[in-house]
Amino acid sequence: MTYYEKQIHHRISRFVPENSVDMAFNLWKEKPFRFVIAKARNSKLGDFRKKPNEDWAIITVNENLNPYSFLITYVHEVAHHWVYEKHKGRVSPHGKEWKNAFKDLMLPFQIPEIFPEPILKALNVYMLNPKAASLSDIRLAKALKTFDPVNPDEISLLELKLGQKFLLENRLFEKHETRRTRVRCKEVRSGKYYLVHKMAMIIPE
């Protein structure tokens, strides 16, 4: 293993379940990419980017995810990478090509040695027809949430009543209407509107 491969292996090992480390690393090794651990983002859990003039694609995953959420997000983005390598952006980002790639790549991980039973049950159902955002599946999102670090003051934005105010990243917001996986929220100080994921953890006022 080269020095750079050891770096990637170590980076992956810090964030995914122990029994998944080697398989997750092998996904990188088969089709390498720049792997970036990103700061927490409420708009997304991870992303995939590839510019035609760059040799390597970039995959980012948020550092604040629990190991099970991190692994699912990681494989989700690797599936984008594999589809891009084959189709060069000529297909829908979350179309049948991505769904099939995600299913194929995720299947070896769907075992009790990696995922606790509540997550595995929800994950198996979700993977029958995976959507663009894993947290759009409420059953899976709730199962994953139970393994997040506990903050007694936090709840998910989904649980908050319409019109209620909340704190997010030390900014005060007011909850407005829900749009599929995002909630339209107004920042009280500026009056600007933002779309926040409905499973974002917030502190109610």
- Convert the pLDDT of each residue in 43-98 to its tens digit: 789 999 988 788 899 999 999 999 999 999 999 999 999 999 998 888 888 999 99
The helix/strand/coil state of 16 is coil
The helix/strand/coil state of 54 is coil
Model pLDDT for residues 125-180, shown as the tens digit of each residue: 999 999 887 777 888 988 998 898 777 788 889 889 999 999 988 889 999 998 88
Residues 6 or more apart in contact with residue 146 via CB below 8 angstroms:
118
Class of residue 137 by CB neighbours under 10 A (exposed 0-12, middle 13-18, buried 19+): buried
Model pLDDT for residues 85-112, shown as the tens digit of each residue: 998 888 888 999 999 999 999 999 999 9
Helix, strand, coil percentages, rounded to 5, for the chain: 40, 20, 40
Q: What is the CA radius of gyration of the chain?
A: 18
